[in-house]
Chain A
Amino acid sequence: MRKKKVWIAGCTVFLLLVICTVLSLRIEKMMRIEVETVRAVQCEEEGMTDMVKIPLSCYKQEENGSFVLFFAEEREGLFGKEWVVQKEESDPLMEEGNMSLVPKSSVFDDQLRPRKIVNYSTWPLEDDDVVVIAGEE
């Protein structure tokens, strides 16, 4: 009788672990933060071909007062490609209306493609957060 009780207790624990594992797949997907991204726009003024414009709203202020940009990078996850945000410190150097002028090198990747910069997010972001880009689900 005791043996059966131990067996049942073991089955219960195993079953709870299996349920939590299966549900965690769903929960992980539901908890991804939705973001909107923008890409830098080329400066059209003469002599500013090395500069690009990004919205000022892309700059997020940290607790210590510094400003950061969040870049959405695609990477290979356990179940296929996923988007992850990378935080980089960056201060708005030159402001023009609601845009900031930044060097091209800071917002373009090694293949000279414009990187996706997070503009809005449903929750404040942290480095390495897995996100979902609005409109690309």
Chain B
Amino acid sequence: MKRERKRKGIERLIVWIAAAVMTAGLVVMNFLISEGIKNEAESLPEGVLLQLKEPLETAEIEAAKIQGYRIKNVGAGEHGREIYEVRGEKERAVLIGKVTDFTRDLFGRPIEGKSMNLSAHRSIALQMGRLAWLAAAIPLSMMLLVLSIRKLGALQEKNWLQGLQGVAIIAVWMAAVYYLTGRLNIPREFLPREQILDISFYIDTVKEFFAGDGWANQSTYQAIRLCYKDGALVYGMWIICAWLGTVLIRIIAGIENRGKGENISRG
């Protein structure tokens, strides 16, 4: 009996050590990945890209400088349009509503066109690591919630210690999720107008961006696209490793618990 208990203790220790090693490995992997992606994201420019139906006059560009905006012609877009990069003097994000309103305010005449908020894309690219952590924690979160509900179920049998453990797990999990979500700063244009769970909006936004209608040959757009692709590939693989590791640890722990249960029933 004593030997059996010792064996169980060692097995439990092995599971904990395996979990700790896996977590440490994932943290180190994430750190190494993040450095590369962060450098790529930090090289992306701030400001706004404007694709206008009519080209700007030199005098208009100079007048915009006086208002605190730096404008640079970054090449021709599709259908004979010119593309300009607009940056605010104080390097904060340039907020743009309708292109006609913006051009009327800045250049004194409404010009039809399209815009792309570079600062918003840069902000999202820099936060891919945090989003990856949230995604990686999904299977662990589900397991912890199931475990905590089972422990809360023990309260009904007046097993106060287990009940308290269940409450503690939920409290720690909630604090971790609140902290992680608090560190996110998703630009508002990448969230739906009304419902945050409007999945079709996210799918359409991604499809539209990668279709690159009108921006395809533009180097800044290509740089952003490459950054997203690299991030998705690298963080995607990291998330899969995290999920597989979590499931593996759970299986090992499950086998160990089943063995314990069989011994108890035999005993």
Show the binding face of A for B, using Cβ within 8 Å: 3-4, 7-8, 11-12, 15, 18-19, 22-23, 26-27, 30-36, 55-57, 97-98, 119-124, 132, 134-135
Contact = CB atoms under 8 A, between A and B. Distances in A.
A30 B196 contact: yes
A122 B188 contact: yes
A134 B187 CA distance: 11
A57 B102 contact: yes
Contacts, number: 85
A123 B101 contact: no
Nearest to A124: B193
B31 to A, nearest CB: 25
Contacts of A135: 92
B170 A15 contact: yes
Given A120-B97, A123-B188, A56 B104 contact: yes
B182 A26 contact: yes
Given A27-B196, A134-B92, A98 B104 contact: yes
Contacts of A57: 97-98, 101-102, 104-105
Contacts of A23: 177, 181
Contacts of B191: 30-31
Contacts of B149: 8, 11-12, 15
Contact of A19 (B95, B174, B186): B174
Contact of B108 (A22, A33, A35, A98): A98
